[in-house]
Amino acid sequence: MRTGSTTRTATGTKARAAGPARTALPGATAPALVVVAHGSRDPRALSTVRALLGDVRALRPALPVHLGHIELNEPLLPDTLGALGDAGPAVLVPLLLSRGHHVTRDIPEMAGASPARTRVAAPLGPHPLLVDALHARLLEAGWPARVPADGAVVLASAGSRDPQSRAGTARTATHLAARLGVPVLSAYASAAAPTVPEAVRALAARGYRRVAVASCFTAPGRFATQCAAAAPWIVSAPLGTHPAMARLLLHRYDEALRTVGTAARRAVPVP
């Protein structure tokens, strides 16, 4: 299937199924990993993303790791891809937590306009590693070890008009609910309903008095701050540099490589 503009795929030795700590075979040149962040006017976002890339490099030192932003921050993705040129293949991994317009259209179109040989990986969520990070951040914020009978969670994310994005967030909420043993209701900062205050009120109307907000954001920013302000009880920090995030980026990179054969083909986002 084609989604937006397309590019040539990365070529080379077919990747073997292995964990995120896997390194390239001796003599093989691993395709570069380009982490695609959204971008934010909040300076904490850029510093957080750079620290996360440092964690990725520490897990896999031989892997070339680059950063590109969709908007608001430098380097922008087209500039990163332009610098790579046709020197070698690259896998673009969206630092986004569900599938939406940025994943299905914006990133492939930017890749298609560049000379780089690329493949676009799946977004980070939904995935068990994402749930690991969300759970850990809630525990850090004070979520009790003994599940409160009147406890519930609002999973706060940026929001999108794309139904695929909302479906992905709902799946993450379902998996987090199974992990915590309490209801988890998805809510959004923009473009979708319910909002975080609406979700909090809905849970309160059902008798839940201790409602936590789980921040489903990769880094601090306007939406994360807005959602945190609506929390009636505890609120978790953005996922940032939790160890599961670096592992998840590498998992998506490896997953994309496993779909690439030795023959060059046109690239599409990995389902």
Active-site residues, by number, are 38
Q: How many angstroms separate the Cα of 246 from the Cα of each of 93, 160, 252?
A: 11, 24, 10
H/E stretch holding 36 = strand 32-37
Tell me the CB-side half-sphere exposure of residue 178, using CA atoms within 13 A: 8
| Geometric angle at alpha carbon 108, from 82 and 81, rounded to 5° | 10
SS3 151: strand
Chain centroid to CA 103: how far? 10
Exposure letters 65-103 (e unless 16+ CB within 10 A, then b): bbbbbbeebeebbbebbeebeeebbbbbbbbbbbbbebb
Q: Alpha-carbon distance 28 to 15, whole Å? A: 11
CB-based contact 155:172 (threshold 8 Å): yes
Give CA–CA dist 75/65, Å, rounded: 13
